């Protein structure tokens, strides 16, 4: 049975997962440089060992109000084709190994901005984990992210 590893994390008490292969590292950071005029979903820039990384606020991407930047935030650094990008999340979970069998397409009741970011749901023992589409989750230049 085919199975995959997912790095999991929580945003607004919902569990999300990303294919581990796309995740570079996870770290906590607290100083972000805001980018004026950037889409609202851009939380800021920070220095990751000499590399300038853009942090994307996953809350905004999911259609929630932006996070406040008091205190450190958790970053899931994902690798995309062009660059490394950070996704700002609330809490980091475990790395879980999931059978493809536990996968289901996104429920029809799921609507709004989050619908586009999600490839499907995994049924865990106690809760659901929504699998994120990496490329879409970090994309900030679309019109709906740029509502300011």
Partner 1 sequence: MDELGDIVQEFLVESHENLDQLDRDLVALEQQPGSRELLSSIFRTIHTIKGTSGFLAFNRLERVTHVGENLLARLRDGTQVMTPETTDTLLRMVDVVRTLLAAIEETGAEGEVDVEGVIAAVTSCIDSGDGAGAKAVAAPGGPASPTAASPAAASAGAAATAPAAGPAITEPPAAVVGAAVVGAAVVGAGAAPEAGAETTPEASAGGPAAIEAVAQASSVEVSPLEAVAEPAPDAPVATAPAGSVDDEHGPGQARRSIADSSIRVDVDLLDKLMNLVGELVLTRNQMLRAVNASSDATLARTGQRLNLITSELQEGVMKTRMQAIDHLWSKLPRVVRDLSSSVGKQVRLAMEGRETELDRSLLEAVKDPLTHLVRNAVDHGIEAPADRVAAGKAAEGVLTLRAYHEGGHVIVEVADDGKGMDPDRIAAVAVKRGLLTRDQVAHMERREILNLVFKPGFSTADKVTNVSGRGVGMDVVKTNIERIGGAVDVESTQGEGTTWRLTIPLTLAIIQALTVECGTERYAIPQVAVHELVYLDGQNGRVIEHAMGAQVYRLRGKLLPLVRLDETLGLPARSGDRDVYVAVLQADGRRFGLVVDRVLNTEEVVVKALSSRFKEIGMYAGATLLGDGRVALILDVPALARRAHLNVGAVERAQAEIDAQTRGAGDAVDRLLIAGVGDRRVAIPLDMVTRLEEFPLERFERVGAREVVQYRDQILPVLRLAQLLGVYSAAEDEATSVPVVVYTERGRSVALAVDRIVDIVEDVVDAKRDFGDDGLMGSAVIQQRVTELLDVRRAIMAADPRFDADADTDAGYDIEQTMMVGA
Contact characters 48-87, partner 1, x per CB under 8 A: -xxxx-x---------------------------xx-x--
Name beta bridge partners: 103: 122
Nearest of 10, 5, 19, 4 to residue 132 by alpha carbon: 19
- Cβ–Cβ under 8 Å, residues 19 and 2: no
Please pick, from the candidates 25, 31, 97, 104, the single residue that binds partner 1 as defined by CB under 8 A.
Answer: 31
Nearest of 74, 76, 120, 69 to residue 98 by alpha carbon: 120
> Under rule CB under 8 A, which residues in 82-141 are in contact with partner 1?
82-83, 85, 139-141
21 binds partner 1 (CB under 8 A): no
Nearer to partner 1, 17 or 39 (CB): 39
d(CA 138, CA 61): 8
Nearest of 80, 127, 95, 69 to residue 9 by alpha carbon: 95
Nearer to partner 1, 45 or 102 (CB): 45
143 binds partner 1 (CB under 8 A): no
How many residues form the binding site for partner 1 (CB under 8 A)? 24
3 state SS of 136 = helix
Please give the residue ranges that form the binding site for partner 1 (CB under 8 A). 31, 33-39, 42, 44-47, 49-52, 54, 82-83, 85, 139-141
């Amino acid at each position: 049975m085919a199975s995959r590893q997912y790095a999991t994390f929580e945003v607004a008490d919902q569990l999300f997962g990303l294919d581990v292969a796309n995740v570079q590292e996870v770290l906590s950071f607290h100083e972000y440089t805001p980018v004026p005029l950037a889409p609202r979903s851009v939380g800021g820039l920070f220095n990751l060992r000499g590399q300038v990384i853009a942090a994307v606020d996953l809350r905004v991407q999911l259609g929630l109000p932006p996070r406040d930047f008091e205190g450190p935030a958790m970053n899931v650094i994902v690798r995309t084709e062009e660059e490394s990008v950070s996704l700002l999340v609330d809490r980091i979970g475990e790395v879980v190994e999931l059978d493809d069998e536990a996968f289901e397409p996104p429920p029809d009741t799921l609507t709004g901005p989050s619908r586009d970011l999600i490839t499907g749901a995994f049924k865990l023992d106690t809760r659901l984990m929504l699998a994120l589409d990496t490329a879409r989750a970090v994309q900030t230049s679309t019109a709906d992210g740029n509502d300011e």
